Amino acid sequence: TLVNASASENAATVTQNGDNNDSTVGQNGISLTATVLQDGDDSDSTVTQSGDGSSASVTQSGLNQSATTTQAGFDNNSGISQTGVNNTANVSQDGTGNNSTVTQSGDNGFVVGTSLVFVDQIGVDNGSTVNQVGDGPNTVDVSQNGISNRSTVLQLINDGFGNAATVDQTGNGNASTVTMGNVLFSDRNTVSVTQEGNTNTSFVTVNGFDNDATVEQLADDNLSTIIQQGTGNIADVSQSSNGNSS
């Protein structure tokens, strides 16, 4: 365990139970808070924070988990919770008032899996929620650049093995919800959402095998809803003017 804090009113708490766990906390700023709990074996956690008023928490209960949180700016919040085996979360936030929550459970009783999450938020008041429950490797990659964007990615109890979701929002006030495996067991599905304008909304729900959903909304005030259930479905939505609905 390595804790390094400079400036004033920073706090770091690290609790380790198990064997061969490693935790590094580095803080440089004012009123920064880091909390790390490792309850298992061979897990690794790194928290790096600069700026004022940000907080980070990491909870690991399992085996061979890795979590990295990097925050720069003001009043950002990151929470990572990992259970199971071989989960990886990498969260980087730069700006003011951004919030990220990652929950991973890598082993749901079918096979031992690896879940990968990458969240990169640059801007103000962006919010990202990722919940992975099924076996992996599942992959989520969320990047938001702007003001007040919201992203939710849910890979649930019936989601496993080879699924991936990518969300990229640039602009202000965009909202994206991706749900995979909430009804049927799902595998080898891909989802890609890109929203580059303002106040666009996207809903994607995928259940089944080998489905592909792509959403691209490049203007303002657009709405897209995709629901896929079955095998081998392809949906491609592209909206480049304002106020469309599909």
Residue 9 has pLDDT above 90, yes or no: no
| CB neighbourhood size of 4 (10 A) | 12
Query: What's the pLDDT score for residue 112?
Result: 56
Digit-coded pLDDT (tens) for 93-122: 999 999 999 998 866 454 556 788 999 999
Quick one: average pLDDT of 68-94? 94
What is the full DSSP assignment across 180-237? Answer: ESSSS-BBS-EEEEEE-SSS-EEEEEEEEES-EEEEEE-SSS-EEEEEEEEES-EEEE
Q: What pLDDT digit, counting tens, does each position of 124-149 carry?
A: 999 999 998 866 678 899 999 999 99
Q: What is the pTM assigned to this prediction?
A: 0.93
Q: What is the largest CA-CA distance in the chain?
A: 56
